A and B are shown apart, each in its own frame.
Chain A
Amino acid sequence: MYKLELDKLIQTIKQQKAKQVLIQLPDGMKHKADQVADAIEEETSAKSFIWLGSCYGACDLPLGMDILNIDLVIQWGHNKFNKESW
């Protein structure tokens, strides 16, 4: 129903030479996490990991991923977010 754009994903991982990639999917796409994770590990040398929880928008990014040496976080379903300033 929604495009995963796996070709773009694989190309980006290779270009950025990412070694550890975190996949973050919105609820309606989470059931495809295995497809994405498998594609990463089959077509690149990167290891893939899946964010278990929420993906409410580009405002909702997993924090602390540098502790786990995650190189690249890929989030589906949202585009760039401009945070409001107060």
Chain B
Amino acid sequence: MPRLLLIDAKWEGEVKLTDKLKQHLKKTKPKSIDLFASVQFSDITNFLEELKKLGIKVNITKAKRTNKPLQILGCDCYPDSFKDKLESDMILYLGDGMFHPRALILAVDKPITIFDPISDHIKIVDRKDMEKELQRAKRNLKLFLNAERIGILVTIKPGQQYFLAAKKLKQDLESKGKKAYIFIDDTLDPSHYENYPFIEAWVNTACPRIGTDDITNFPQAMINLRDALDPIKALENLE
């Protein structure tokens, strides 16, 4: 395998506590904030000083899959993804785009305040913004529970490859009288699923966001590995 170099590609600007954000904080009055950021916006020494001047306690936790505290990855989308519980008055995410805030929406059933340092734009999102996906997830779990023939998806992308877990799941499903087939690829392209009409439900063992964000893009039922291991509990969590 060749050697590897990873480069943060940090934003060239400075993450500031802008007047707009200050006004928003004055209006919403949080005494404490759980703070997250994508790596591009993780140089926040001055930002933290400004928040301290406002008398706001900032909690910075470490997500399981990240290298450092503050940062969040898209796969940190479960309630137990963080070292500390997120119990502050406000969850604030610094960054652009919705990919990482959606991880927080999936992880905690609380509003997420997004501050985009580039556009100086503030947005508040919550589970209503993923209502379609969550309803589809419920339907998919029910279909999985009733399915007799299940396809288990494995990627060879090194950071997402769970071949052993897939084999174990297959064994587990077959001990319960179901039939399971393991499918392998690099990129798991949904356009391929319809080629296997004998599969009644799919289990994704790769990036968990494939089994959450993407599921409304195709008709087949798909759930994530974690939910396949305890589908009843997964359904209860969604009800």
The minimal Cβ–Cβ distance linking B186 to chain A, given in whole angstroms, is 7
The verdict on A51 contacting B184 (CB below 8 Å), with A34-B149, A64-B156 known, is yes
Q: Can you give 20 contacting A-B residue pairs, CB < 8 Å?
A: A30-B196, A31-B196, A31-B197, A34-B196, A37-B181, A47-B167, A49-B154, A49-B182, A49-B184, A50-B181, A50-B182, A51-B183, A52-B183, A52-B192, A53-B185, A65-B156, A67-B161, A68-B154, A68-B156, A68-B184
Q: Are A52 and B181 in contact (CB under 8 A)?
A: no
- Give Cα distance in the complex from A64 to B184, angstroms: 11
* A contact residues around B182 at 8 Å (CB): 49-50
Residue interface mask B173-196, A partner, CB < 8 A = 1: 000000101111111110010011
Whether the Cβ atoms of B184 and A33 lie closer than 8 Å is no
Measured in the bound complex, the distance between the Cα atoms of B181 and A30 in whole Å is: 13
Query: Among the interface residues B186, B187, B188, which one has the most CB atoms of the partner chain A within 10 A?
Result: B186
- Give the complex CA separation of A51 and B185 in angstroms: 6
Q: How large is the interface on B (under 10, 10 to 19, 20 to 34, 35 or more residues)?
A: 20 to 34
Is A27 positioned at the interface, with any CB of B under 8 Å from its CB? Answer: yes
Chain B interface, DSSP helix/strand/loop, else mixed: mixed
User: Roughly how many angstroms separate A33 CA and B158 CA in the complex, as a whole number?
Assistant: 25
Minimum CB–CB distance for A70 against chain B, Å: 8
Chain B residues lying within 8 Å of A22, measured Cβ to Cβ, are: 184
- Total interface residues on A, CB under 8 Å, equals 20
Task: Give the residue of B167, B185, B186, B195 whose beta carbon is less than 8 angstroms from that of A30.
Answer: B195
Contacts of B183 in A (CB 8 A): 49-52
Q: Contact mask A46-69 → B, CB, 8 Å, 1/0?
A: 011111110000000011110110
Chain A, residue nearest B158 (CB): A67
What's the minimum C-beta distance from A67 to chain B, rounded to whole angstroms? Answer: 7
B163 at the interface (CB under 8 A from A): yes
**B153 CB-CB contact with A under 8 Å:** yes
Task: Assess the B181–A34 pair: CB atoms within 8 A.
Answer: yes
Determine whether the beta carbon of A68 is less than 8 Å from that of B163: yes
**B156 x A67 contact (CB < 8 A):** yes
Interface string of A13-42 (1 = CB under 8 A from B): 000000000100001001101100100000
Q: How far apart are the CA atoms of A65 and B197 in the complex, in Å?
A: 25
Which residues from chain B contact A53 at a C-beta distance below 8 Å?
Answer: 185-187, 189, 192
